[in-house]
Amino acid sequence: KIVVGGWFSSLGGPGSSYIGRLNSNGSLDTTFDIGANGVVYALAVQPDGKILMGGIFDFVRGRTRNHIARLSPSGSLDYSFDPGANGFVRSLAVQPDGKILVGGEFTTLGGQARSYLGRLHAAKGALDTSYNPGAGDIVYALALQDDARLLAGGAFTTLGGQARSYLGRLHPDGSLDVTLNPAANDNIYTVAVQPDGKILLAGGFSQIGGVTHQHIGRLNLDGSLDGAFNPYADLLVMSVAVQPDGKILLGGWFTQVGLLTRNYIARLNPDGTVDEAFDPNANSSITTIVLQPDGK
């Protein structure tokens, strides 16, 4: 089944404001009726099937929940989980040990000061007081590497107390990984890790490390810029998804990729060239893409 969050006030028919669930054939799962009162920006599913949601809301299923909540697999509210943030939650990620990483526009999380990034314990969402890297501005994107290091992208120019322009990497204890500092020149909205470990970045930037890369780029395993990968998009790239065959899906506001017309969605070959056979041609911006296990 597919959990969907966003700005909508209906999904597959009346109701289902801001969050809903679809059956595998695309019909609405009418048993999943959450009743959030604001936009859902971020969703993550825990190994036990519980569903984490983050966004603008402050009310879920009749209870106060400030920008973050957790649901059971059936959609009931987890009453034990109520960390609360004082600003919008933009991104969520679940560590292999079950701890929950939270990024966004907040300056407090779980009742304590946390600058745009924090971590919660899995059981009841209590704040992990040992983890406090601190970002200088909004964290839009979180992605975990296989070694549990965390990639964070956003609007910040400092991370972990040091200069980091829109992207940085943290060790599992929250300390800054000083080996990665690609230095983009504008916001990063999405980060994805390829199966080979290379790191895809996308957003509003036009340069990485002083080299022209329009809205999308890739880093090597050691954090250096992959100069051979330079597809070019004419406007913002908001979402990236990597297929098992290494091809890369892009969604965003663009109408041109790699000098070919591509309206809001495109697919790249692993080397960064445009897959000319793939052109769905949407009529407005695409902000997220998710791959199903069957490849659809």
How confident is the model over 149-169, as pLDDT tens digits?
A: 999 999 999 999 999 999 999
Instruction: Give the pairing type, strands 199-203 and 216-219.
Output: antiparallel
Sequence-distant (≥ 6) Cβ neighbours of residue 93 within 8 angstroms = 44, 100, 101, 142, 143, 144, 150
**Structure tokens of 45?**
């599913």
pLDDT (tens digit per residue) in 46-90? 999 999 999 999 999 999 999 999 999 999 999 999 999 999 999
**Structure tokens of 116?**
């745009």
Q: Which pLDDT does position 288 carry in this prediction?
A: 86
Structure pTM? 0.91
Which value, in Å, is the radius of gyration of the alpha carbons in the chain?
19
Task: Give me the residues paired with residue 207 across strands.
Answer: 212
Edge-to-edge strand list for the sheet holding 188-193: 188-193, 199-203, 216-219
The SS3 call for residue 78 is coil
Sequence-distant (≥ 6) Cβ neighbours of residue 88 within 8 angstroms = 41, 54, 55, 56, 67, 104, 105, 106
Closest CA to 244 of 226, 221, 266, 270: 270
* pLDDT digits (tens), the chain, 296 positions: 889 888 888 887 666 789 999 888 888 898 988 889 999 999 999 999 999 999 999 999 999 999 999 999 999 999 999 999 999 999 999 999 999 999 999 999 999 999 999 999 999 999 999 999 999 999 999 999 999 999 999 999 999 999 999 999 999 999 999 999 999 999 999 999 999 999 999 999 999 999 999 999 999 988 899 999 999 999 999 999 999 999 999 999 999 999 999 999 999 999 999 999 999 999 888 888 888 888 88
Q: Which pLDDT does position 35 carry in this prediction?
A: 84
Residue with tokens 């601190």: 134
Q: Which pLDDT does position 14 carry in this prediction?
A: 65
Q: List the beta strands (DSSP E) in 137-293.
A: 139-144, 150-154, 158-159, 162-163, 167-170, 188-193, 199-203, 207-208, 211-212, 216-219, 237-242, 248-252, 256-257, 260-261, 265-268
